Every structure is written in structure tokens, then in C-alpha cells.
Amino acid sequence: MTQTEPAVAGASLVVELRNLHKSFGALEVLKGISFTAREGQVISLIGSSGSGKSTLLRCINMLEIPDQGDVLIDGEAIALKGSGPHRQIGDENQIRRIRSELGMVFQSFNLWAHMTVLENVMEAPLIVQKRQRSEVEAEARAMLDKVGIGAKADAYPAQLSGGQQQRAAIARALCINPRVMLFDEPTSALDPELEVEVLRVIKLLADEGRTMILVTHDMEFARSVSDRVIFLHQGLIEEEGSPDEVFGATRSARLKQFLNAASHD
């Protein structure tokens, strides 16, 4: 089912998923997913609701633990112990180190409400990576400027609009200087107007050559930003390829149907 992806010349493998399976109770959500992301690639995960996109993304940083299969970051397999639904993190230190290299941006932002925007951004570098405060602060402010909310550094999340909150969340993820950015429908909690601001920022990152894996419902956006598009269907990769292949020369009947429905939204 899965294809070997078109090799990007010279770029190293950053994320590699091998045969991931995940069930919730009786519901088998992922049925064997493998793919890789190379340095600098932008990969979009698309698929209908409930097809397991979020679950897959969350497996990458082990917010969900796959029942079977492995996740490798920079060639290093994340250690897991036990099997099936009883599988657990194998090495707390390793997972913390790896997580602090994966910048996750949630659909509902999940900013820490009790910290200012600046504190949110500085939190992980200070607490997890134990870096110097002065250096982190300078970098955090730069990141906030970059995403266009430098003026809001000292505001609390509740005082920002949704779009500003999501940009703060992106800054937070960027500030840990991640190997890969993971986005789970970063704009679907936003009004169309606010959406635009956030998409602009993500596009900027893509153009800079950041490695990113993003779940999105916005086909237009996926097309314009991705190097590769993966279509999930019923827990499997139904189709995968460059945007032109996937959107232009759709092979799978299901993907056709999906794209059809999506364009009617």
C-alpha cells in the first residue's frame, strides 16, 4: 500500500514511522502506517474525519503510544516496553529529550493560560532544555516578532484573539528549536479571517525549509505548502505523493471522492 517516497537528494531522515498500529478498545484506528520525513520536507496528512490523522501525529511524539510499530527520530528508535495496549514509554529520559526536539502545535492551541505569552514561549527552553534565561528571552522575543505578535509578549493568552493565540503557540514550538514541527489542524479552531494569519506564518516556515508534518483540512493550503501529501483512509495510507500527483493525478477512487467533498465545503 505505502510507496517508497521520492528520495530528496542528500537530506537526512528526520522522522521515520514503521508499521504503526493503534487501537482504542475495539476500534482499530491505525492499521499499519509507515512513512518517512526528510530534513526540510513539508508533509501534509489529509483524510476524512476519524481517519486517524490526529492519532498518527500524536503517535510521533508518543502522546498516544502505538500498540505496534516503531517511531524513529533522527534514526533513533523511541524505546517502548510491553506490548499491545499495555505498551509504555521505555525510557523517560529519552522520550523527554526527543519530545523537546519535536515542536507540536495543537488545534486548540493549548497555551498555558496562567502564563504570559512570553512565559509560554520561554517555558520549555528554560525548564526542559535548561538553557540560559537571557539567551532564551532574546530568542523568544525574536520568535514572537517573527510570527507577528511581538507586541503581545506580556499579555495572557485569554487576552488574545484565536489567531494570535495560535501564532503564540507556533512561536512556543519554534523556540525549542525543533527538528520537526508537528501541526494538528492548526487553523480549524479559527474563524476564516484569523485563519489567514496563521497560514501565512506556516507558509513562511515552509519557505524557510523547516521540516514539518501537518494535519490539515485545507486542500488549497496543503497543495501550496507541501512537498508530499499523504491521504489516510480507514487507518491506512490510501495514497501518497507530491501535491501534483495527489491532487492533479488522483488515482484512488476514495481520494477522488474525498477531494470532491472537500471542495464543496
Partner 1 sequence: MLDDIAFWVGYLTNGKHLTWYASFQFTIFAALMGGALAVVFGLTGATLKNSRFLPLRLIGTFYSAIVRGVPDVLFFLFFPLAFEQAVEWVIATQVCSPEAIAAQTAPWPPCREANWFLGTWEYLLLASVSLGLVYGAFASNVIHGAMRSVPQGQLEAARAYGMSARQVLWRVHIRQMWVYALPGLSNVWMLIIKATSLLSLLQIADIVLWADRLGAPNYLPAVGLVHDDWRWRYYLVLFIFYILVTWLSERAFEAIMRRAGRGILSEAQG
Partner 2 sequence: MQGLFDDLAIMAPAVLFNIYFAAASIPIGFLLAIFLALGKASSNPLINRLSRGYIYAFRGSPLFIQFFMFYSLALSLNISVWRPLGISGFVLHPLFMGPLVLVLNTAAYTAEIFYGALRAVPRGAIEAARAYGMSRSQQFRRVVWPNLIRLAWPAYTNEVVFLFHATAIVYFALPVVGAQRDLMSTAKNLFERDFNAFLHFPVAALYFLGVSLVIFFLFGLVHKRLMRHLPVPPRLRYAPKWFR
Ligand X SMILES: Nc1ncnc2c1ncn2[C@@H]1O[C@H](COP(=O)(O)OP(=O)(O)OP(=O)(O)O)[C@@H](O)[C@H]1O
Return residues touching Mg ion (CB under 5 A): 54
Centroid of chain to Cα 180 = 8
Q: Return the C-alpha cell found at 209.
A: 525549509
In angstroms, give the least distance from the CB of 232 to ligand X.
Answer: 7
User: Helices 162-175 and 192-208: crossing angle, nearest 10°?
Assistant: 20
| Stretch of 14-22, 96-104, 140-148, 242-250 contacting partner 1, by CB under 8 A | 96-104
Q: Does 98 bind partner 2 (CB under 8 A)?
A: yes
Which positions ≥6 away from 255 have C-beta within 8 Å?
231, 233, 238, 239, 246
With CB under 5 to 8 Å by kind, the binding choice for 193 among Mg ion, partner 2, ligand X, none is none
How does DSSP assign 167-235, residue by residue? HHHHHHHHHT--SEEEEESTTTTS-HHHHHHHHHHHHHHHHHT--EEEE-S-HHHHHHH-SEEEEEETT
Q: Return the C-alpha cell found at 143.
A: 520568535
Q: Does 112 bind ligand X (CB under 6 A)?
A: no
Q: Does 80 bind partner 2 (CB under 8 A)?
A: no
Using CB under 8 A, which of 42, 43, 80, 124 touches partner 1?
124
Torsion of CA 53, 59, 65, 67, to 10 degrees: 60
| Stretch of 76-84, 101-109, 136-144, 207-215 contacting partner 1, by CB under 8 A | 101-109
Q: Does 24 bind partner 1 (CB under 8 A)?
A: no
Residues 49-68 that bind ligand X (CB under 6 A): 49-55
Residues 176-205: x/- map of binding to partner 2 (CB under 8 A)? x-----------------------------
Residue 17 pairs in a beta bridge with 35, 71
Q: Does 189 bind partner 1 (CB under 8 A)?
A: no
| Stretch of 121-129, 200-208, 210-218, 250-258 contacting partner 2, by CB under 8 A | 121-129
Q: Does 95 bind partner 2 (CB under 8 A)?
A: yes
With CB under 5 to 8 Å by kind, the binding choice for 54 among partner 1, Mg ion, partner 2, none is Mg ion
Q: Does 36 bind ligand X (CB under 6 A)?
A: no
Specify whether the CB–CB gap between 142 and 213 falls below 8 A. no
Q: Which residues bind ligand X (CB under 6 A)?
A: 24, 27, 29, 47, 49-55
